[in-house]
C-alpha cells in the first residue's frame, strides 16, 4: 500500500521568528528520508528563493498566470549547492520574485486551485512556509485536525501569544464551517443559525465581558440543543485537536518555559480550550552559522557535516522517547487542570533537554525530523500534518467523516 502523503504547514503568529529558516531546513532534512517539496506561500516576501542560491525558471506566477501545473514549478537545488547529491529528493516551489497583487493576495478561487494542486503534488512530504498572521491565506492552508508546526521563540513574546491565536482561529474556522447558514446540521435542529452564530461570536470575542472559551461554548451549546449529535461533532473537533510547536533560538529551558511555553499554554487553556493536546517537537538553538548560511544563500544543512556528536541511530532512539509523555498527557486530558498541563510541558522540556544536551543545530533539526517521522508512522493521519488540505467548502463533510 502506498503511504499517504503528508502536508505539513509551518506557521507562526508573527514574522521574524525563523519560520522560513525552519521550514527550509526541516524540508531538507525530511528529504533525506523521502521526496519532499517545500512550497513558499509567504507571497510578497518571496523569502524561500532568497535563502537558496539557485536559479528559478518557474514559480507560482507561472502556476497562477500561465496555468502551468504546479509540478512544473518545482525547482531542484543547483548542483553547486549539493555537489554530493545528498538532497536530490528536495524541491521547492518559489513565490514570485515581485509582488503581483492578485497572486500575493489570492482570491478564494485561487486558494482553492492551489489547494487542489498541492493535494496533487507527487511527493511524500510537502512542507508549506505560510505567511505569518491570520488572514485566509494562512488559515485556509492549515490542516484540519492539528496545527501543523507552529514556530515561536523566547525572544519575541508577542509572537508566542500570536501563535496561540492561530490555534484559536483554526478551531473557529471549523466551527463556522459546521454551523454555516444552510448547513444540513440545522435540518433536525430546532435552533435558528443566528442563535448559534451569536454564541460562536461570543466565544471568539475575548473582549466580550461574558467571554467563554470553547469548553464553555460546548457546555452552552449542549444547553441549547440537548443531546443532538452536533455536540459530539464539536467536542470531537476540539478534544482531538493536536497542537505541535517548535522553539527557535532556544536559550535554555528556564527561559523557554517562562517566556514562551508557559504563556503559550496558558493562553490556549484560557482562550481556546483546556482539552487540546499540546506537543513540543523540539527546538533549534541560536547559532551564527544559521544566520550566515541564510546571508550566503546556502541553507545551513547543506554545508559539510563535520559534527560527530550524536550518531543518527542514537538520536533516532532518543527522539522516540517522551512523545508527549503519554501518561501525564492523558491524565491532563481526563481532568483538565491547568497546573497539570504546565507540568507536562515542563517535564517534556526537561526530557528533551536530557536528549539534546550539547547538541548542535544539525542534531536539533534531525531530532525534530525523527520525532515527526515517528508520529506520522505511529499515529493516525491527521494527528500530524494531513494527507490533504481541505477547501473551506469541504470542511463540514470532512468533520463528519473524521469523527470516531
Task: Please give the Cα distance from 258 to 198 (Å, whole number).
Answer: 36
Q: Which of 184, 291, 305, 337 binds ligand ADP (CB under 6 A)?
A: 291
Alpha-carbon Rg for the chain in angstroms: 21
Instruction: Compute CA 33 distance to the chain's CA centroid, rounded to the nearest angstrom.
Output: 20
286 binds, among Mg ion, ligand ADP, none (CB under 5 to 8 A by kind): ligand ADP
Answer whether 396's CB lies under 8 Å from 183's CB.
yes
DSSP codes of every residue in 355-368: HHTT--HHHHHHHH
**Which residues make beta-bridge pairs with 151?**
246
Answer for which of 286, 323, 328, 333 binds ligand ADP (CB under 6 A) is 286
The C-alpha cell of 104 is what? 500575493
Range 120-158 burial, b when 16+ CB lie within 10 A, else e: ebebbbbbbbbbbbbeebbbbbbbbbbbbbbbbbbbbee
- The residues in 298-337 that bind ligand ADP, with binding defined as CB under 6 A, are none
Footprint (CB under 5 A) of Mg ion, residues 23-52: 47
Packing angle between helix 214-225 and helix 229-239, nearest 10 degrees? 170
Does 148 bind ligand ADP (CB under 6 A)? Our answer is no
> Nearest approach, Cβ of 401 to ligand ADP (angstroms)?
34
CB 301 within 8 A of CB 38: no
Determine the Cα–Cα distance for residues 112 and 107; give it in Å rounded to an integer: 9
Give, as ranges, the residues between 44 and 63 that touch ligand ADP (CB under 6 A): 47
- Which option in Mg ion, ligand ADP, none does residue 12 bind, with CB closer than 5 to 8 A by kind? ligand ADP
CB of 249 to ligand ADP, least distance (A): 5
Binding span for ligand ADP by CB under 6 A among 14-22, 71-79, 168-176, 301-309: 14-22
Between 45 and 222, CB nearer to ligand ADP: 45
Among 128, 243, 290, 376, which residue sits at the site for ligand ADP (rule: CB under 6 A)? Answer: 290
20 interacts with ligand ADP by CB under 6 A: yes
Cα distances from 154 to residues 168, 170, 380, in angstroms, run 21, 23, 31
Does 193 sit near ligand ADP (CB under 6 A)?
Answer: no
CB of 46 vs ligand ADP, minimal distance in Å: 12
Shortest distance (Å) from residue 30 CB to ligand ADP: 17
Question: Which of ligand ADP, Mg ion, none does 17 bind, CB closer than 5 to 8 A by kind?
Answer: ligand ADP
How many residues touch ligand ADP (CB under 6 A)? 17
Q: Where are the alpha helices (DSSP H) in 44-135?
A: 47-50, 60-66, 101-104, 108-120
Q: Note the Cα 362 to chain centre separation in Å.
A: 21
Establish if 137 lies at the interface with Mg ion (CB under 5 A). no
Question: Which member of 196, 221, 276, 284 binds ligand ADP (CB under 6 A)?
Answer: 284
Number of residues that bind Mg ion (CB under 5 A): 3
Residue whose C-alpha is closest to residue 174's, from 401, 398, 404: 398
Closer CB to Mg ion, 47 or 146, in the complex: 47
Binding of Mg ion by 11 (CB under 5 A): no
Q: Is 31 in the site for ligand ADP (CB under 6 A)?
A: no
Q: Which residues bind ligand ADP (CB under 6 A)?
A: 12, 15-21, 47, 248-249, 284, 286-287, 290-291, 294
Amino acid at each position: 500500500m502506498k503511504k499517504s502523503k503528508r502536508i505539513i504547514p509551518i506557521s507562526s503568529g508573527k514574522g521574524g521568528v525563523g519560520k522560513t529558516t525552519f521550514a527550509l531546513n526541516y524540508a531538507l532534512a525530511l528529504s533525506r528520508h523521502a521526496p519532499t517539496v517545500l512550497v513558499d506561500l509567504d507571497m510578497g516576501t518571496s523569502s524561500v528563493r532568497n535563502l537558496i542560491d539557485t536559479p528559478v525558471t518557474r514559480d507560482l506566477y507561472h502556476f497562477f498566470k500561465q496555468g502551468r501545473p504546479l509540478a512544473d514549478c518545482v525547482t531542484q537545488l543547483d548542483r553547486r549547492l549539493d555537489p554530493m547529491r545528498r538532497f536530490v529528493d528536495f524541491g521547492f516551489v518559489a513565490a514570485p520574485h515581485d509582488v503581483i497583487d492578485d497572486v500575493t493576495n489570492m482570491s478564494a478561487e485561487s486558494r482553492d486551485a492551489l489547494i487542489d494542486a498541492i493535494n496533487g503534488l507527487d511527493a511524500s512530504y510537502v512542507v508549506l512556509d505560510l505567511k505569518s498572521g491570520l488572514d485566509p491565506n494562512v488559515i485556509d492552508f492549515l490542516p484540519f485536525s492539528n496545527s501543523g508546526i507552529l514556530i515561536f521563540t523566547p525572544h519575541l513574546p508577542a509572537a508566542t501569544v500570536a501563535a496561540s491565536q492561530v490555534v484559536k482561529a483554526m478551531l473557529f474556522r471549523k466551527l463556522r464551517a459546521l454551523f454555516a447558514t444552510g448547513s444540513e446540521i440545522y435540518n433536525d435542529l430546532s435552533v435558528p443559525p443566528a442563535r448559534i452564530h451569536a454564541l460562536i461570536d461570543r466565544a471568539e470575542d475575548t473582549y466580550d465581558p461574558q467571554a467563554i472559551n470553547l469548553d464553555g461554548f460546548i457546555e452552552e451549546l449542549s444547553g441549547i440543543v440537548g443531546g443532538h449529535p452536533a455536540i459530539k461533532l464539536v467536542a470531537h473537533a476540539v478534544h482531538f485537536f493536536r497542537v505541535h510547536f517548535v522553539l527557535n533560538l532556544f536559550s535554555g529551558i528556564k527561559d523557554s518555559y517562562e517566556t514562551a511555553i508557559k504563556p503559550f499554554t496558558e493562553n490556549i487553556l484560557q482562550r481556546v480550550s483546556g482539552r487540546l493536546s499540546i506537543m513540543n517537537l523540539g527546538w533549534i538553538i541560536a547559532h551564527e552559522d544559521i544566520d550566515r548560511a541564510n546571508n550566503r544563500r546556502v541553507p545551513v544543512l547543506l554545508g559539510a557535516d563535520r559534527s560527530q556528536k550524536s550518531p543518527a541511530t542514537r538520536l533516532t532512539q532518543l527522539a522516540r522517547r517522551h512523545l508527549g509523555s503519554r501518561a501525564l498527557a492523558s491524565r491532563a486530558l481526563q481532568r483538565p487542570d491547568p497546573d497539570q498541563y504546565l507540568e507536562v510541558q515542563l517535564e517534556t522540556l526537561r526530557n528533551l533537554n536530557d536528549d539534546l544536551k550539547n547538541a548542535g543545530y544539525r542534531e536539533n533539526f534531525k531530532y525534530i525530523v525523527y520525532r515527526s517521522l515517528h508520529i506520522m508512522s505511529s499515529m493516525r493521519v491527521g494527528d500530524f500534518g494531513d494527507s490533504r488540505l481541505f477547501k473551506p467548502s469541504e470542511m463540514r463533510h470532512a468533520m463528519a467523516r473524521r469523527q470516531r
